[in-house]
Structure 1
Amino acid sequence: MDQSAEMPAQPGFATGARQDDAWRTLLPTDVQEAVSSALRDAAHSLVIPSFRSSRPAELSRKASGTLVTQIDRDVESRLAAVVTMLLPNSRVIGEEAVAADPKLLMHLGDEWVWVIDPLDGTANFVEGQAPIAMMVSLLNRGTPILAWILDPLEDILLTRGRGEGLTTGQAAAAAPSLRDLRGAAWIRYFDDELRKATEGRFSAVGQVTPGCKCTGAEYLSLLQGQQDFVLFWRSMPWDHTAGILLLQESGGHAAYLNRDPFRPGAKRYGLLAARSRQIWDQVWTALIEGVPDPEGLLSREVKVY
């Protein structure tokens, strides 16, 4: 399944862009196709063979304590080489590069920035379990303008540019009942008091699962209509930028739990994504409104994630 956006066929640079799409005139016309091909090439030559191998990938832990494999690093390096060749004046901010140099995050507002999550769901990958995902987004002066998510095991690829629109799966009901909604809540990462308060409200919603340990897969599930909302704790740019742009293009909504809009460079806890603004409001009211937050974790930026 490839939901890639149609791109102009002529070589060179796109022309005739809408007024709010001036960025298109500055990009190669084949940028979406080229990045899509690079993602699939990396999936077929690096990710899938290692996933299916009887020999586990070289594994270590980053300073944050999260798992990383050599495949994460190799995929990021390969994708970075491709995207910087496509746009030579651009900067790459990849998950693994930031692990080595956190100051890279200070450049998210640069003119052209690629944000790369080379292997989302590393814990699943190490265990030989699905789902896993690969994600890329392109920002222009801090604004996401292009997004890609690939499920390498199922070969499902979604890509869109800002303003193009996206239709996948079944449309969200115009006035859904809370009892009919299904979603995921990654509350295992929540502050203890917030977790207990939020978990105590789950009975108001039709179904709440603990999540699949893969942010990219959660967004694909939202986009395909397989679930209605996902409640996250951390909001790293490589985990959410691509998924939120695709979600917005499909008519969905994502915001922090104090209702502020998502910003790729913000260091914030608590993020809710939903298939529509109405569903977002319903779930926020049912699960979040009025929960105790004595340390103000939901209303301020933090020094580190």
Structure 2
Amino acid sequence: MKQLDSKPSIPYVVGSKSPLAVAINCAAKAGEWIKSRLGTVKELSTKYSPQDLVTDVDKGAETMIRKLILTHFPNHDILGEEGVAPGAAASEAALAKAKASEYLWIVDPVDGTTNFVQGFPFFCVSIALAYKGEVIIGVIYDPIRDEMFVAEKGKGAYMHGNPTRVSEEKLLADSVVAVGFNPDRTFAAPVNLKGIVALSEATRSLRAAGSAALHLAYVAAGRLSGYYEVNLNAWDSAAGALLVRESGGIVTDTAGNPYDIGVRNLVASNGKIQRQLLDVITAAGATGLH
């Protein structure tokens, strides 16, 4: 079995293309198609809540990505947002089943669907590959800016061939941190708002641009010092979490435990402010943990 990684513990099954090349190709092709459909949405519906939107473009992009992946890796499994029923319980059940897969692709065809519908230019394609539950490849593509963020476990992270590195801020008070307004208005939104209020007083400034994956890519690239949100899904965070880690940062759950694809309440940072972020969120009762 051919090995692409320097660590022999992770064997990659390689077809006519490497998994990384396939992920990049999928993201690029889907991203360009999504960009071409901006402003032309024909079917708009909701999922878990009136704030949780899905379009024909989301569905079409996921179908495109699935077909491309399975062309090269027909025996691999795929966990895509559009193939899972709405709500946290359904997401957790789908992930629990998928975790048994040896090779699992985790796909969000349009992360930031509400932005896409509004014509707000902050959305992306997010694709990750996990081997026995551990993410080994992460790709995030922003078609509006034509920025391709790529990470491979143990090999670093890059944007168009240039290494990405997290920011240098050592104090939360000097940091710009991203937050999210989760579409789950019953549980997650009130919890997130507690954290947002607390962080607004502890940071230099907050940003909420509406794409978990791009927020994580921006932490990896040093454009943000951190990111916090409760009630995310694996497809929101898998690729971005690897980008952050391979760029020198830290990703944990809101209790400070190491990230895995089952983490739903997430804190990511340059590593230097991680403890400060966690302390503020904990003190505010905003961990989202029962």
TM-score, normalised to structure 2, is 0.85
Contact 1:35–1:82, Cα closer than 8 Å, also in 2 = no
Identity between Structure 1 and Structure 2 (%): 23
Gaps of 5+ in 1: 1-12, 301-305
CA deviations 1:142-178 (Å, max 9, x no partner) are: 11111110001111111221111126456532x6233
Which residue of 258, 264, 270 corresponds with 1:275? Answer: 270
Which residue of 148, 171, 181 corresponds with 2:139? Answer: 148
CA deviations 1:82-118 (Å, max 9, x no partner) are: 1122212111110000127755322133111111000
Which residue of 21, 43, 46 corresponds with 1:58? Answer: 43
What is the CA–CA distance in structure 1 between the aligned matches of 2:195 and 2:7, rounded to whole Å? 46
Counterpart code for 2:281: I
1:298 and 2:284 aligned? no
CA deviations 1:178-211 (Å, max 9, x no partner) are: 32111122266645367346514532221123x1
What is the CA–CA distance in structure 2 between the aligned matches of 1:271 and 1:119, rounded to whole Å? 20
> Given the superposition, is the C-alpha separation of residues 197 and 43 from structure 1 closer, same or farther in structure 2, using an over 3 Å criterion?
closer
Query: How many aligned residue pairs are there?
Result: 275
CA deviations 1:244-267 (Å, max 9, x no partner) are: 01111111111111112222135x
> Given the superposition, is the C-alpha separation of residues 170 and 159 from structure 1 closer, same or farther in structure 2, using an over 3 Å criterion?
closer
User: For 1:234, what is the secondary structure of its paired residue?
Assistant: coil
Q: Which residue of 2 aligns with 1:4?
A: none
Counterpart code for 2:270: R
> Given the superposition, is the C-alpha separation of residues 230 and 22 from structure 1 closer, same or farther in structure 2, using an over 3 Å criterion?
closer
Contact 1:76–1:116, Cα closer than 8 Å, also in 2 = yes
Which residue of 47, 65, 70 corresponds with 2:34? Answer: 47
Which residues in structure 2 correspond to 1:222-301 (within 5 Å)?
222-266=219-263, 268=264, 270-276=265-271, 278-285=272-279, 287-292=280-285, 298-300=288-290
What is the CA–CA distance in structure 2 between the aligned matches of 1:214 and 1:191, rounded to whole Å? 15
Gaps of 5+ in 2: none
Deviation at 1:292, TM superposition (A): 3.2
What is the CA–CA distance in structure 1 between the aligned matches of 2:217 and 2:5, rounded to whole Å? 28
Which residues in structure 2 correspond to 1:96-245 (within 5 Å)?
96-99=82-85, 103-105=93-95, 106-166=97-157, 168=163, 171-173=166-168, 176-186=170-180, 190=188, 192=190, 195-196=193-194, 199-209=197-207, 211-245=208-242
What is the CA–CA distance in structure 2 between the aligned matches of 1:125 and 1:171, rounded to whole Å? 27
TM-score, normalised to structure 1, is 0.81
What is the CA–CA distance in structure 2 between the aligned matches of 1:200 and 1:281, rounded to whole Å? 15
RMSD between aligned alpha carbons?
2.5
Q: Which entry has the higher C-alpha Rg, 1 or 2?
A: 1
